[in-house]
A and B are shown apart, each in its own frame.
Chain A
């Protein structure tokens, strides 16, 4: 099995490691770096629990090789909110947008990217935006409300 040296910047910190070519980014994040907030929920790229931001774009890290992330900037849930809470984290807490918490990191990262692209999404746009992330607990209503709340908070922050 060939191995390669890669450097990936995760949550602002660069990590250089020797990895097998087949190592998945999600395992690199969880096993090599010990950042266990990124979860694994399926084996068909369907559930989105492993969603991270790869150069700012949501990516299912179970379907990206770590070597393909060489030189990339990755954001995981551990990188949300500098010391405090990111508006998305605040919104999910206030609106009860999580129950078991397993899909939550991926759901929040998708929501963050959605709001950065579209700061004031409609309910339909939010539903479409998070449709690559499965949640079995919440029935999505409160996730939609959480994203709407995060949108408000982000606007308040930028106004202030």
Chain B
């Protein structure tokens, strides 16, 4: 029989056929009869009282059909909506705006241009209020209070680990390094922005929502809960997530625009489309990071012993981070990283400021990037303080292969790992010792070259239902597989691809399990009317959860297939042997029935006492998270005249367990690395003291082009996850998480002899030049 091309094959992607012909169907391609367009008028102030909205100024514009304000929504009890972190955020303000670019009113019109005209024409009277943008200032007594409904700007204090034990251990260390670092606000900037088309059918009381969402089922439930008092019910809400032009976490939250389009459709009785501009996307949608970290790491006789992280987290005006509900700081407590470290304590204080809400959306499993940045910077510093090469120091202090499953000081059970193998491979690939020799020569000539390492451990695949839920909904995910009489299949999932290639990789998992070739398997996601319930795609959870569900559902089908094969072969079930794609009678390989034979019989000749049909569903609740890891080495050259950091080489050795489609895995790593160097070198959403955004469009928010992006050099090791059905771990975010500290460590390494011990990010030419200048190393004519 033909090879089924399951695991380990670089099968070309099924989804590409439509994408390369321009036949993808993205949100802005959805066009319904009679559809109206919605645009949003936004606040020019970061904090202000709205004294009056002159709705008539927008209504006077040709084509404008309606203006929706906070007062309109208040009448429907929809002016506020809950966040996933038990906070609330405004859909539209009733009286006060809390950040620049906040939604103030929605204008509904007969065309896109008329809606924009209406938004531009709308006059609003404001009384500006004092602004607080710095979270440290916001915590001081007497600071401007951001939220009228709260006592202070302090949202929460969260801590984990043994505080006293860690202090004692640090006191007993012979070497302790301390460093403050800020991971600034960044934005995913998927090339497609967010949007929706809401279509309310008043006769049937049915709402169809086409939505750029990574989590269609969860969104449907949230919509049902938020609108129940208006008579909407979950069975009358259909969320369709069409092709998505990149998500990276930015398409997990519920944005006010979605609610507004829905409200506008209900009010007008017509379908309503809202598509945000790039500038709106950068200025108002969920951000990531904005963690101010004070880190301490100590060693005793060269052995890493204790870690302490104290953190101020800037959440903007609402805690709207899309974390699992029990984790206000996400999975930040993976911060002990790849190191065998007995004592650790981490704390986070969440703070309100006059900035947009959000908190974790940037290709990362809930604050893992912040944790990895902290530990990988600190390990580098500690290695130097011990007088040891950072590579040697890491190799000595890694958790050893025989220690897995490993219980971390902060309570995680790491599933599997071989950290030394990954680092040694990366060192070998880049020629580490030769680079060190070259660096010494260059340094003697006054040239600036640096080598930086990051040996990260991730924690992905949320998650086990005993701890992971979103608003109480457990974080399982699902696969439903139906085998048709001719042996072809359709498989539907609770996740939603945004470019990861699920249509191909899920088909390969089923191919591996059942022997049906991938081209005979149609994979569908994103329609809540047809797909089984699942929590969606983010935090690298699709392969660990829904991918596992595909395996388990396939195995259920195989077990039913065994009964059918026994019937067809007139043999005992126990005497049948499964070989990919067929059952045969033990000792008689010629007496066999293929999965296609079995499928046909399931509908035409099924045994007495067995139901017809061949299908199965699995809601997979993972027993643990998965812990992908890797070692990255970055080599940079720094221009002393301009401060420009040039990445000369970047070697990335990733271990994501068993690889389903190596081509797709490499593609995920390429993209992740590029989103890793971006915040290290280029990207920041910044604000001035008045809360004016200074990085709110693509001319100021610098996404890497092909020119800034180096040629990535990839390597791999394979350490299967012992608890995942096919040993896979997930890979979509590893590189984004692991890359930034490699770049920072390389730049600090290049400048170490000048006395530089730390660099904040992004390491723009201006910032680097300032540091060079302070240390007398900037080139002058």
- Whether B245 pairs with A98 at a CB distance below 8 angstroms is no
For the complex, what is the distance from the CA of A8 to the CA of B556, rounded to whole Å? 57
- Whether A100 pairs with B706 at a CB distance below 8 angstroms is no
> Which of A22, A38, A108, A139 is close to B712, meaning CB atoms less than 8 Å apart?
A139
- Tell me whether B412 is interfacial, beta carbon within 8 Å: no
Q: Across the A-B interface, how many residue pairs have beta carbons closer than 8 Å?
A: 179
> Which of A78, A101, A140 is close to B245, meaning CB atoms less than 8 Å apart?
A101
Which of chain A's residues have a CB closer than 8 A to the CB of B28?
A: 30, 36, 39-40
Which of chain A's residues have a CB closer than 8 A to the CB of B246?
A: 99-100, 102, 136-137
- Tell me whether B460 is interfacial, beta carbon within 8 Å: no
- Tell me whether B1 is interfacial, beta carbon within 8 Å: no
Which of chain A's residues have a CB closer than 8 A to the CB of B23?
A: 37
Which of chain B's residues have a CB closer than 8 A to the CB of A77?
A: 20-22
Which of chain A's residues have a CB closer than 8 A to the CB of B667?
A: 96, 99, 137-139, 142
- Tell me whether B664 is interfacial, beta carbon within 8 Å: yes
- Tell me whether A113 is interfacial, beta carbon within 8 Å: no
Which of chain B's residues have a CB closer than 8 A to the CB of A23?
A: 113
- Tell me whether A122 is interfacial, beta carbon within 8 Å: no
- Tell me whether B705 is interfacial, beta carbon within 8 Å: yes
- Tell me whether B734 is interfacial, beta carbon within 8 Å: no
- Tell me whether B613 is interfacial, beta carbon within 8 Å: no
Chain B: CB-nearest residue to A38:
B22
For the complex, what is the distance from the CA of A134 to the CA of B501, rounded to whole Å? 20
A136-B703, A139-B709 known; A101+B670 contact, CB < 8 A: no
A47-B698, A130-B706 known; A136+B190 contact, CB < 8 A: yes
Q: Which residues in chain A, 84-100, are within 8 Å of chain B measured between CB atoms?
A: 85, 89, 92-94, 96, 98-100
- Tell me whether B375 is interfacial, beta carbon within 8 Å: no
> Chain B's nearest CB lies how many Å from the CB of A48?
9
Which of chain A's residues have a CB closer than 8 A to the CB of B705?
A: 130-134, 140
Task: Tell which of B246, B248, B673 has the most Cβ of chain A within 10 Å.
Answer: B246
> Chain A's nearest CB lies how many Å from the CB of B642?
19
> Chain A's nearest CB lies how many Å from the CB of B307?
31
- Whether B22 pairs with A131 at a CB distance below 8 angstroms is no
Chain A: CB-nearest residue to B23:
A37
> Chain A's nearest CB lies how many Å from the CB of B218?
21
- Tell me whether A25 is interfacial, beta carbon within 8 Å: no
> Which of A30, A46, A141 is close to B698, meaning CB atoms less than 8 Å apart?
A46
For the complex, what is the distance from the CA of A48 to the CA of B46, rounded to whole Å? 31
Interface range on chain B (Cβ under 8 Å from partner): 35 or more
> Chain B's nearest CB lies how many Å from the CB of A93?
5
As a 0/1 sequence over residues 345 to 373 of chain B, the CB contacts with chain A under 8 angstroms (1 = contact) are 00000000000000000000000000000
- Whether B709 pairs with A140 at a CB distance below 8 angstroms is yes
Task: Tell which of B29, B188, B706 has the most Cβ of chain A within 10 Å.
Answer: B706
> Chain B's nearest CB lies how many Å from the CB of A37?
2
- Whether A94 pairs with B12 at a CB distance below 8 angstroms is yes
- Tell me whether A127 is interfacial, beta carbon within 8 Å: yes
Which of chain A's residues have a CB closer than 8 A to the CB of B671?
A: 99, 136-139
Q: Which residues in chain B, 4-36, are within 8 Å of chain A measured between CB atoms?
A: 12-13, 15-26, 28-29, 31
Chain A: CB-nearest residue to B669:
A139
A41-B191, A76-B22, A93-B16 known; A100+B499 contact, CB < 8 A: yes
> Which of B192, B279, B670 is close to A100, meaning CB atoms less than 8 Å apart?
B192
- Tell me whether B213 is interfacial, beta carbon within 8 Å: no
> Which of A36, A49, A127 is close to B191, meaning CB atoms less than 8 Å apart?
A49
- Tell me whether A10 is interfacial, beta carbon within 8 Å: no
- Whether A42 pairs with B245 at a CB distance below 8 angstroms is no
- Whether A101 pairs with B19 at a CB distance below 8 angstroms is yes
- Whether B21 pairs with A141 at a CB distance below 8 angstroms is no
- Tell me whether B500 is interfacial, beta carbon within 8 Å: yes
- Whether B21 pairs with A102 at a CB distance below 8 angstroms is no
Q: Which residues in chain A, 111-137, are within 8 Å of chain B measured between CB atoms?
A: 123, 126-128, 130-137
- Tell me whether A20 is interfacial, beta carbon within 8 Å: yes
- Tell me whether A74 is interfacial, beta carbon within 8 Å: no
> Chain A's nearest CB lies how many Å from the CB of B590?
39
Which of chain B's residues have a CB closer than 8 A to the CB of A102?
A: 24, 26, 190-192, 245-246, 499
For the complex, what is the distance from the CA of A108 to the CA of B18, rounded to whole Å? 14
> Chain A's nearest CB lies how many Å from the CB of B161?
36
> Which of A93, A137, A142 is close to B12, meaning CB atoms less than 8 Å apart?
A93
Which of chain A's residues have a CB closer than 8 A to the CB of B192?
A: 39, 41, 100, 102
For the complex, what is the distance from the CA of A118 to the CA of B703, rounded to whole Å? 27
- Tell me whether A53 is interfacial, beta carbon within 8 Å: no
For the complex, what is the distance from the CA of A140 to the CA of B13, rounded to whole Å? 17
Task: Tell which of B244, B671, B697 has the most Cβ of chain A within 10 Å.
Answer: B671
- Whether A99 pairs with B499 at a CB distance below 8 angstroms is yes
- Whether B707 pairs with A37 at a CB distance below 8 angstroms is no
Chain B: CB-nearest residue to A88:
B20
- Whether B20 pairs with A85 at a CB distance below 8 angstroms is yes
- Tell me whether B699 is interfacial, beta carbon within 8 Å: yes
- Whether A131 pairs with B20 at a CB distance below 8 angstroms is no
Q: Which residues in chain A, 14-41, are within 8 Å of chain B measured between CB atoms?
A: 20, 22-23, 27, 30-31, 34-41
- Tell me whether B602 is interfacial, beta carbon within 8 Å: no
For the complex, what is the distance from the CA of A37 to the CA of B26, rounded to whole Å? 9
> Which of A20, A39, A99 is close to B26, meaning CB atoms less than 8 Å apart?
A39
- Tell me whether A67 is interfacial, beta carbon within 8 Å: no
- Whether B243 pairs with A101 at a CB distance below 8 angstroms is yes
- Tell me whether B674 is interfacial, beta carbon within 8 Å: yes
Q: What are 29 of the A-B contact pairs (CB < 8 Å)? A: A36-B29, A37-B24, A41-B278, A42-B697, A43-B278, A44-B697, A44-B699, A46-B697, A77-B22, A81-B21, A92-B20, A96-B664, A98-B16, A99-B246, A99-B499, A102-B499, A123-B711, A131-B706, A131-B707, A132-B705, A136-B248, A136-B671, A137-B246, A137-B667, A138-B667, A138-B674, A139-B672, A141-B670, A144-B711
List 7 A-B pairs, minimum CB-CB distance, nearest first: A37-B22, A100-B499, A102-B245, A101-B19, A139-B670, A77-B22, A46-B698
**Given contacts A128-B706, A134-B705, could you give 6 more A-B pairs where the C-beta distance is less than 8 Å?**
A36-B25, A77-B22, A93-B12, A100-B499, A101-B15, A101-B19
